[in-house]
Structure 1
Amino acid sequence: MDIDSFLSVMGRMSVFVSLLLAFFLFTVKTQNKLANRLFASYLLFFVVDDIGIFISEAFIKDYLNLEFFRWTTCALTLPVFYLYIISVCFADFRLRTKHLLHAIPFVFINAVFISKIYFLNDVDKMQFYEQRSQMPEFYFLQLMLALQIILYSIGVFLVLKKYKEIYRENYTNPKTSIFKWLFQISTVFFSLYYLSIAKNILRFTDFEVLWIWANVIMQFLALLVTCWFVLKALNHPELFRGIDSKLQLTRDILPKENESAVEIKEHQNDLITAQILALKKYMTEKEPFLDPSLTIQELSNQIDIPVRDLSILINHHMDQHFFDFVNEYRIQKAMIILKNPLKKDLTVLEILYEVGFNSKSSFNTSFKKYTNLTPTAYRNAS
């Protein structure tokens, strides 16, 4: 089997897996319809790009305008992926008219192609296709796609950064898995996209053999990543839940809250001290942290402190994220149980559930961060 045939086989496999997953995402009954449909759309745009590997030359010659249009659809792939990331992070995300702005590069490229390519005669179109690597329009397309990769990679990781900060200030277990998953898939995807930039540079050089092998490697990696995503999505359906994007970070609230801070500084300090003491007393006596899904909104309702004030109290005045604040009480409770000879028969798994965790990895990470020991080592150290 020659390299072209091998590429064609891998391309067909990748297209088949992507179409299968896209069909599943479009038809599955779930509350996360928007996120699923956005990722299904991303997969379809990926398929449109990928079929170029095995489309016959005869078909391309008969439908050159369709082939040129296929090139331009690449400009929609990353905007759809970006919107997918937002929709998974934030459960209240909805598509708005303003999101059509992401289609501007696609529209602009097609406008250039209409004026320069689409209305050429068949001979000139074929000449353009065969010599596309030397054509300025093709250079422009590749440059714009590379710029998109850079800008959207920055945009995606800024969204993930915001999600992580909001989550840590307002939630506890178990949604960190969503951030880890989205960070993983974004890192993998954009690694492939940056490799594709390097691969496309080879297109405009004399290293034809290197260009061919780069295509083989990229196609293999694309197939591998697609299969990985399928397995991950099927095994971890909980990864597709979001948080409320309207929640504000403490640093965004503070300027408004502190406008008259100079005038009431002493009174405010006394109030803050009293609120901190009341909060700590409530956490110790009522143990709300035993609820594994405790949020700052729920704790606010229980202790009768406005959620904005409670967020500032914990995240600013106590200098802790809500996530760490709650888990500290859980760890302290776990430490007492681990040292209790009457509960020596309890397994670590049973203890972590008892104190409010529902993930062994999260419990071990938090416990070691707080004590510098694993739960088992801490128990045996007595």
Structure 2
Amino acid sequence: MDKSNFLNTITLISIFVMLLLASFLLTVNTKNKLSNRLFASFLILTAFDLSSFFTDKYFETNLNFEVFRMTASLLIMPIFYLYVKAVCHSDFKLKPKHLLLILPFAIANLIFIPRFYLATTFENVHIYQHFKQLFEIRFFYILAELQYFFYIILVFSSLKKYREIYLENYTNTNNSSYKWLFQMTVFFLIAHCIVFFKSIIRYTNYSVFLNSSNLVIGTIALIISCWFVLKALNNPDLFKGLDSNMLLVNKILNTKVVSTENQLTETPKSAEIILQIEFIKKHVLEKESYLDSSLTIQELSEQVHIPVRDLSILINHHMNQHFFDFINEFRIQKAMQILKDPSKKKYTVLEILYEVGFNSKSSFNTAFKKHTNQTPTEFRNN
């Protein structure tokens, strides 16, 4: 089998897997309907874009189809960005303002109308022969690259904010949503860098590497599409969104909006802060709230009868800790007690981490080493 046939086979398998997963996401009964539909749309558009690998002969007689396929790729990153927002925020909804995201797609199609969509059969032949040199095509590639890097920065920025809010409000160490989205974004960035490299080669004397780059892109597409399916099978309830109204503490402190029911003074007395902090620590220690692996700041707020806003500022600002790290300190102290207890030598590290509120060995080891500069096994041996 030559490279061309092998590439076509890989691409067809990738497209089939993506469309199969998209069909599943569109029909499955779940509470994550919007995010599933957005991800399905993303997969369909990506599969449509991948179809370019085996449409060269079709392109010669169907210029309009090829041009539309090219411009449709400008919808991929906006859809992916909306998908990230829908996963990160459980209350995310599509709004009329989101129609602005299709503006590059609309502009590109308007530019292609005069010389491409309205071209005669004779003009089609000329366009095909000089395709790479045409102004519209070069403009499209520049627009596509600018749009891509704009959205990739936007996505990474959204994920960074999501992670910070998560750490300030949750203690569940297994933040699968963030890991999934971050890994997927990194994979797309790597794949796009290869595509960008391929686009540069197209305009150089090294076009001999074009088929090899296509093969790499096709292989990566197949790996990513199979990875999507494995993730869906292994994590059917993968995503846990945050309330979009949640703010980072630094934004809460900077805002000028003050609650009339629970007015928060900008410079409360030090003694009051110390008393509140001691009260919170005493409650968490005595009631062992930290043993709940899914404890959130909202739940602790109800337990100590302190508004979430005030509690978040006390922990994340005055104690200079994320809520995530604040609760983990109690868990690590509890784990250290168990590891030092001669009567509990038979306890495995796995049993201990579950007992103190962790739900993964990697996160427990990371947190333990952060607080003790030792692994749990090293601590026990010493």
TM-score range, shorter chain: over 0.9
Q: Which moved more, 1:346-355 or 1:154-163?
A: 346-355
Superposition map of 1:279-318 within 5 A: 279-318=280-319
CA distance in 1, matches of 2:71, 2:266: 60
1:47 matched to 2:52? The reply is no
Partner of 2:25: 25
Q: Is the Cα contact below 8 Å between 2:174 and 2:359 reproduced in 1? A: no
CA distance in 2, matches of 1:51, 1:20: 15
Query: SS of 1:237's equivalent?
Result: coil
> Cα distance, 1:174 vs. partner?
3.7
Percentage identity across paired residues of the two chains: 51
Partner of 1:326: 327
CA distance in 2, matches of 1:334, 1:239: 28
Partner of 1:80: 79
Partner of 2:143: 144
> Cα distance, 1:296 vs. partner?
0.5
> Cα distance, 1:356 vs. partner?
1.2
Partner of 1:188: 187
CA distance in 2, matches of 1:92, 1:176: 18
Could you list the runs of 5+ residues in structure 2 that have no partner in the other structure? Answer: none
Partner of 1:60: 59
Query: Structure 1's 29 and 264: CA in aligned 2 closer, same or farther, altered over 3 A?
Result: closer
Query: SS of 2:238's equivalent?
Result: helix
> Cα distance, 1:264 vs. partner?
7.6
Partner of 1:372: 373
Query: SS of 1:172's equivalent?
Result: coil
> Cα distance, 1:239 vs. partner?
2.6
Q: Is the Cα contact below 8 Å between 1:72 and 1:109 reproduced in 2? A: yes
Amino acid at match of 2:315: I
Partner of 1:215: 214
Q: Is the Cα contact below 8 Å between 1:149 and 1:190 reproduced in 2? A: no
> Cα distance, 1:56 vs. partner?
5.8
Could you list the runs of 5+ residues in structure 1 that have no partner in the other structure? Answer: none
Query: SS of 1:73's equivalent?
Result: helix
Q: Is the Cα contact below 8 Å between 2:174 and 2:360 reproduced in 1? A: no
CA distance in 1, matches of 2:81, 2:70: 20
Query: Structure 1's 330 and 368: CA in aligned 2 closer, same or farther, altered over 3 A?
Result: same
TM-score (norm 1): 0.94
> Cα distance, 1:212 vs. partner?
2.0
> Cα distance, 1:62 vs. partner?
4.0
CA distance in 2, matches of 1:150, 1:31: 31
CA distance in 2, matches of 1:280, 1:82: 39
1:246 matched to 2:245? The reply is yes
> Cα distance, 1:176 vs. partner?
2.1
Query: SS of 1:239's equivalent?
Result: coil
CA distance in 2, matches of 1:360, 1:378: 15
> Cα distance, 1:346 vs. partner?
2.2
Q: Which moved more, 1:80-89 or 1:310-319?
A: 80-89
Amino acid at match of 1:108: I
Q: Deviations over 1:36-89 (max 9, x none)?
A: 1111111111111111212361x4344321221111101001111111111111
> Cα distance, 1:258 vs. partner?
11
- Aligned-CA RMSD value: 1.9
Partner of 1:4: 4
